[in-house]
Structure 1
Amino acid sequence: MEKKISEFFAFCQEHEAEFIDFRFTDIKGTWHHISFSISAVDVETFERGIPFDASSLPNWQPINQSDMILIPDLVRYFVDPFSADVTVIVFCDVWDIYKNQPYEKCPRSIIKKAMQYLKNSGIGDEAYFGPENEFFVFDSIKIRDNINAQSYEIDTEEGEWNRNREFEGVNMGHRPGTKGGYFPVPPIDSMVDIRAEMVKVLNQVGIETFVVHHEVGQAQGEIGIKFGDMLEAADNVQKLKYVVKMVAHLNGKTATFMPKPLYGDNGSGMHTHISIWKDGRNLFAGDEYQGLSQIALNFLGGVLHHARSVAAFTNASTNSYKRLIPGFEAPSILAYSAQNRSASVRIPFSHGEKAKRLEFRFPDSSSNPYLAFAALLMAGLDGIINAIPAGEAMDIDLFELTLDEIREKGIRQLPHTLRSAIEEMLADREYLKVGDVFSEEFIQTYKAYKFEAEIWPWEARPHPFEFISTFSC
């Protein structure tokens, strides 16, 4: 610990830092921060932690037991590329002073418990995760939420609804159109420069990037980042979201990782690649289906078995389920296949044992990455421990199946609403609690938060389409 602290202060000195920004994540996945002048930070700050008020965060502490401690974790700290004064950002966990243990509602502490459970199980040493976070960059968003009005309006110059609009007297006419945004070159792809700027800043804060491209939807993009262990991958999602949003903001635009902001166009997912390693060997490589091992297939079987429960964490918003409908490459059918993007789990084409992995296509970025990755791991480990079969692969085009055909074949689907996902999780939650990774208190808190903050408010509001379907009845 002393070495890490001395290395941290050397880093601050090298970059002439003036402020230290301590960041932590709440239940929803939102980043929060507390800043200190560097002169107020010393070795004891890292040894004793930083007191803060946890009662001001949704569904954390009551006001009569509000005190908690931030514990800085000296990994992946970086210079904030957006602050006017040199500021170093540090990830933090939360410590419960009342139970004298890691706070059971701290998402980052939960993922650490999941990682420790993997090691304690003897199955593997490390789980590697590679998330692919898609996003939209819009020119503006207007929202109205009144007692007599519910509305939103999104705009982007790429939108096909702007075909007859004048922009400073002209309209250049080059637009991708609905579902037409996959890989067109400029001028149809109008976001090349802003994505390039995002990549440069991501590299600056220590994230290795590779593929960068326009996605299928209008104003939609994706930046591929390198995989890492579970904690690193989740930390990097937080860094990626911060950079993408801030670069868009400083360019006079607004970025969102919302799964389905555009009706009738493709949504944004967080496809998640997973493999488990032990003693430097990829346990998912073998001689079964598409070069996978039996361990990989049992891991897959566990996730498919618990998927309707896992969705409470991987698809964590009411908006998530507007993405998981037929017709938009939506991976809502619980099946697996090689290279088949119509299945909820894909076996990517790969060269060599090291690259063998499973790609789970149903998660999205409205999830808290720490909770989503932990839930996926716990479901998969339950599949390995209990030898849960994955069933037969489905290499057909699942998008072409009717609902009746899906039912006839006995294919399970993901839940259709967040309410259903939370209820499925409550009915099937024991696998989450093994090793005390997800505590019962956290599960009940998560349920309460989702119902109070999202489900009930969403269910209670009239929708504009209801006035089309119901007003004249």
Structure 2
Amino acid sequence: MSDGNLTTVEQEVLDEIEAEGVDFLRLQFTDILGTVKNVSVPARQAEKAFTEGIYFDGSSIEGFVRIQESDMRLKPDPETFAVLPWRDKEDSAAARMICDVIDTSTGEPFEGDPRYVLKKALDRAQEMGYTVNAAPEPEFFLFEEDEDGHATTETNDHGGYFDLAPKDLASDVRRDIIYGLEDMGFEVEASHHEVAEGQHEINFEYDDALTTADNVATFRTVVRAIAAQHDYHATFMPKPIPKVNGSGMHTHLSLFTEDGENAFHDEDDEFDLSDEARAFTAGLLEHAPAITAVANPTVNSYKRLVPGYEAPVYVAWSDRNRSSLIRKPAARVPAASRVELRSPDPSCNPYLAIATMIHAGLDGIEQDLECPDPVRENIYEFDEQKREEYGIDTLPSNLGAAVDALEDDEAIYDALGDHVAEKFVEAKRQEFEEYLIDVSQWELDRYLETF
């Protein structure tokens, strides 16, 4: 029982911990690069976690603080409490809560916490009279493991888009993943086999942007854990297999007004898009190169962002085809009006990626940017001259160019905050430089015996 200093939701969590027989709590947060971290504590520490927080060494976390600034505190969000579905509940149960990171020297939110960066984006939206909804579509591959339990790139099926068993041999794995997600509070809408062999997609219902980012982090953890129970390795690497479609994380975005109306819908418009939706879209297009550094943050991301494999590389929007960067999906009801940014991939930090999308769109609204006409033709079939005629630019072709674009875009760089932007750019510059000096197997195969 508590001493009366807890909120109603916090007390409900304590009651559920007792009812479910939870022995351990995983206090979850993410580093700047999007890697999920956790501090595990006995469940009896839950009340202390709520009232005092749990301290940890921030200097051990990528991009957080230096050794002389190491003390950080985790403040759990009770709304995110969920019992982990892959533990044997007859033996003992474990649960997790997603945490905000507090700077102990000031008692304020830590500016290097990606969740805080997203919260600041949502504060900006709220000041403009909006709430933000988001819905991602993360794709992933399932690979066989070798005899030592290490990942291979051997797929377990030869299925294709929407195939069924026996071609899609992973349907049982997806089923168990869905059960696990539902146990953790997800509203799963659909799942199916994707285009490439061994590639899958599970869609969950849209939610407010913060919950959605939390869900992406949780989704990746659940998928990996349950795949491992089936002796498969699940990866969100954007392009693990050459010459096939890579994995994306198309992200749907919409704004709602304070009275609950969809600010993106206008039934009198040809495309059912309001002026706010058009300006938001224009902002996404304007800041697309800088967003790319955050939404496509690995060297491997740019092996996916190439023409010919259905990934968007052209900075344009359309209401009918998927060759453009932004698509306006058909909406059955006004509340479903939204725009879909198709470039992000599932290796991104969901908090930072969604934050940059929101800031870009809001900047479009604040600056009253003019949205270009939609491109209804297949841009993949355009030559360079025709793209120039239509004024269609191309996304950065590699991580180095994307980071350059981020540093050159004051609005998006500032949206990350000085701490995150500086640490993120530093890490990604180093990653790209290491890539440039590495010698790949492709180079050895092509040149070693030729020259």
TM over 0.5: yes
Note closer, same or farther for the CA distance 1:140–1:402 as it changes in structure 2 (3 Å cut): farther
Tell me by how many angstroms 1:431 deviates. 4.4
Bigger Cα displacement from structure 2, 255-264 vs 14-23: 14-23
Report the residue type matching 1:280 in the other structure: G
Per-residue CA deviation, residues 266-288 of structure 1 (Å, 9 max, x unaligned), is 11100000000011000000133
Selected match of 1:282 from 243, 262, 265: 262
- Alignment-derived partner of residue 37 in structure 2: 32
Report the residue type matching 2:198 in the other structure: A
- Alignment-derived partner of residue 155 in structure 1: 154
Contact in 2 for aligned 1:378/1:432 (Cα 8 Å): no
In structure 1, the residue corresponding to 2:134 is in which secondary structure? strand
Does structure 1 residue 416 correspond to structure 2 residue 397? yes
- Alignment-derived partner of residue 226 in structure 1: 205
Per-residue CA deviation, residues 54-110 of structure 1 (Å, 9 max, x unaligned), is 111122111111111111111121001123421121110111122432111100111
Tell me by how many angstroms 1:142 deviates. 11
User: Whole-Å Cα distance in 1 between the matches of residues 378 and 115 of structure 2?
Assistant: 38
Tell me by how many angstroms 1:112 deviates. 0.9
User: Whole-Å Cα distance in 2 between the matches of residues 347 and 418 of structure 1?
Assistant: 27
- Alignment-derived partner of residue 55 in structure 1: 59
In structure 1, the residue corresponding to 2:250 is in which secondary structure? strand
Tell me by how many angstroms 1:408 deviates. 4.2
Does structure 1 residue 296 correspond to structure 2 residue 277? yes
Contact in 2 for aligned 1:302/1:383 (Cα 8 Å): yes
Per-residue CA deviation, residues 205-249 of structure 1 (Å, 9 max, x unaligned), is 110101110000110001110010011000111111111111110
User: Whole-Å Cα distance in 2 between the matches of residues 36 and 468 of structure 1?
Assistant: 50
Does structure 1 residue 108 correspond to structure 2 residue 115? yes
- Alignment-derived partner of residue 231 in structure 2: 252
- Alignment-derived partner of residue 443 in structure 2: 466
- Alignment-derived partner of residue 103 in structure 2: 96
Note closer, same or farther for the CA distance 1:331–1:285 as it changes in structure 2 (3 Å cut): same
Report matched runs for 1:290-329 at 5 Å.
290-329=271-310
How does the TM-score come out when normalised to structure 1?
A: 0.89
Per-residue CA deviation, residues 150-173 of structure 1 (Å, 9 max, x unaligned), is xx9511233xxxxxxxxxxxxxxx
User: Whole-Å Cα distance in 1 between the matches of residues 270 and 79 of structure 2?
Assistant: 37
Note closer, same or farther for the CA distance 1:6–1:197 as it changes in structure 2 (3 Å cut): same
Contact in 1 for aligned 2:329/2:339 (Cα 8 Å): yes
Contact in 1 for aligned 2:413/2:421 (Cα 8 Å): no
Per-residue CA deviation, residues 420-449 of structure 1 (Å, 9 max, x unaligned), is 11110000033452xxx5222321111012
- Alignment-derived partner of residue 165 in structure 1: none
Tell me by how many angstroms 1:393 deviates. 0.4
- Alignment-derived partner of residue 456 in structure 1: 433
Report the residue type matching 2:263 in the other structure: L
User: Whole-Å Cα distance in 2 between the matches of residues 154 and 404 of structure 1?
Assistant: 39
Tell me by how many angstroms 1:49 deviates. 1.0
Does structure 1 residue 41 correspond to structure 2 residue 41? no
Tell me by how many angstroms 1:465 deviates. 2.1
- Alignment-derived partner of residue 126 in structure 2: 119
User: Whole-Å Cα distance in 2 between the matches of residues 376 and 142 of structure 1?
Assistant: 42
User: Whole-Å Cα distance in 1 between the matches of residues 273 and 162 of structure 2?
Assistant: 31
Report matched runs for 1:4-83 at 5 Å.
4-42=9-47, 44-83=48-87
In structure 2, the residue corresponding to 1:60 is in which secondary structure? coil
User: Whole-Å Cα distance in 2 between the matches of residues 310 and 142 of structure 1?
Assistant: 40
User: Whole-Å Cα distance in 1 between the matches of residues 152 and 280 of structure 2?
Assistant: 42
In structure 2, the residue corresponding to 1:28 is in which secondary structure? coil
Note closer, same or farther for the CA distance 1:335–1:7 as it changes in structure 2 (3 Å cut): same
- Alignment-derived partner of residue 137 in structure 1: 142
Contact in 1 for aligned 2:138/2:346 (Cα 8 Å): yes
Report the residue type matching 1:236 in the other structure: N
Contact in 1 for aligned 2:114/2:351 (Cα 8 Å): yes
- Alignment-derived partner of residue 328 in structure 2: 347
- Please list every run of 5 or more consecutive structure 2 residues that lacks an aligned counterpart in the other structure: 1-5
Tell me by how many angstroms 1:405 deviates. 3.1
How does the TM-score come out when normalised to structure 2?
A: 0.94
User: Whole-Å Cα distance in 1 between the matches of residues 411 and 331 of structure 2?
Assistant: 34
Per-residue CA deviation, residues 15-60 of structure 1 (Å, 9 max, x unaligned), is 1211121111111111111111122332x42122111001111221
Tell me by how many angstroms 1:117 deviates. 1.3
Contact in 1 for aligned 2:14/2:46 (Cα 8 Å): no
Bigger Cα displacement from structure 2, 20-29 vs 397-406: 397-406
Selected match of 1:87 from 82, 94, 97: 94
User: Whole-Å Cα distance in 2 between the matches of residues 401 and 369 of structure 1?
Assistant: 32
C-alpha root-mean-square deviation of aligned residues, in Å? 1.7
- Please list every run of 5 or more consecutive structure 1 residues that lacks an aligned counterpart in the other structure: 144-151, 159-174
In structure 2, the residue corresponding to 1:318 is in which secondary structure? coil
In structure 2, the residue corresponding to 1:291 is in which secondary structure? coil
Aligned residues: 438
Tell me by how many angstroms 1:468 deviates. 4.4
User: Whole-Å Cα distance in 2 between the matches of residues 4 and 352 of structure 1?
Assistant: 33
Does structure 1 residue 198 correspond to structure 2 residue 177? yes
Contact in 1 for aligned 2:314/2:325 (Cα 8 Å): yes
Report the residue type matching 1:111 in the other structure: L
- Alignment-derived partner of residue 446 in structure 1: 424
Contact in 1 for aligned 2:283/2:362 (Cα 8 Å): yes
Tell me by how many angstroms 1:5 deviates. 1.6
Contact in 1 for aligned 2:238/2:345 (Cα 8 Å): yes
- Alignment-derived partner of residue 3 in structure 2: none
User: Whole-Å Cα distance in 2 between the matches of residues 234 and 335 of structure 1?
Assistant: 25
Contact in 2 for aligned 1:314/1:367 (Cα 8 Å): yes
